[in-house]
Amino acid sequence: MHASLPLPVEILGNILRRIDDYQTLYLVALVCRRFYPEASMILYRSPKNLSPYRHITFLSSLASDPRLACLVRSYKLPPIAGKQRITCLELLRITLPMMINLKELSIMATANEMQILPMPRLTFQVENLSWIQIDSTKNDQFMRWAQSQKSMKHLRWIHREAVEISRSAFPDLVSLEGNLHVVEALMPGRSIRRLHWIADAFYDGEFNVRNKLAVEMGNLQSLTFEDGFNTIKYSMIACHLHSLTFLELVGDFHKSVRFLSTSIFMPNAVLIYVKGHGDDSITTHLEDLGILSGPNDR
């Protein structure tokens, strides 16, 4: 009897990638020596839906074997609380610099927690970054690191204070999610095609769209706009959206049809999607519609 199945590595990897349950994939990795390398690559590539205990175990494995850290392409800090969060952050301080091939990073934390992360020691270049600081403490360490990221294509960033960042930062950015401070700082001078304008009440002062973002709004292909506490109202930007092909409005727009009159400014629009606050329906996937599906956007 053969010790392992005579299955090409490519086919084996394709089969294992279809397993979306972490526990099942972990058990498959233990079946035999032939399965272990391929299953491990998938397990460590993008850890998802791990319990707090398993997440800490995952980071502990990276700390004990740097070769495993090199497999990680995507990492998201989970919403762990209490002592487990302290343990997780301490392990992340050790292992994040080891993830030298990381392409996607998602962090939501306080400034004090973020200060634990050794940003100057990070050598990877991410393409997709979600960075949400839940307080307004200044974080110079992050700002310096962020401006070193030259491969960034998608950025989700919520910042409660004015953003001071070089115009040369993020030269390849095409997709942006952020509140007004972030939109104001990053839209000018960049070829952003998709914008998710996140509502917030942290902007103090007046903001003139016509003077600051008229050209950039005119180049957008896709816009998700949140109403509610947003300092900027949709009616203030609608007349600038000449190139838009996808529009998603989140808020109380469903109570009135007046927003439909703005479609005269959007001759290329193929879809207008409206949902109210708290609506948990699945948001339309832009990639499924063919929007932002160019070879440089993935």
Fold of 152-298: 3.80.10
Amino acid, single-letter form, for residue 17: R
By mean pLDDT, which of 23-27, 31-35, 44-48, 204-208 is the weakest? 204-208
CA distances (Å), origin 153, targets 75, 105, 171, 297: 16, 12, 9, 7
Query: Tens digit of pLDDT for each residue in 148-200?
Result: 999 999 999 988 777 888 888 899 999 999 988 898 889 988 889 999 988 77
Residue 286 pLDDT > 50, yes or no? no
Q: pLDDT above 90 covers what percent of the chain?
A: 26
Q: Where are the domains of the chain?
A: 1-45, 152-298
Give the model's pLDDT for residue 238: 77
Comparing 69-73, 95-99, 137-141, 244-248, the range with the smallest average pLDDT is 137-141
3-state SS of 187-254 is: CCCCCCCEEEECCCCCCCCCCCHHHHCHHHHHHCCEEEEECCCCCCCHHHCHHHCCCCCEEEEECCHH
At residue 239, does pLDDT exceed 70? Answer: yes
Query: Is the predicted pLDDT of residue 205 greater than 60, yes or no?
Result: no
**17-31, 46-60, 87-101, 258-272: which is most confident:** 87-101
Greater confidence (27 vs 200) lies with 200
Mean pLDDT of the chain: 77
Percentage of the chain beyond pLDDT 70 is 65
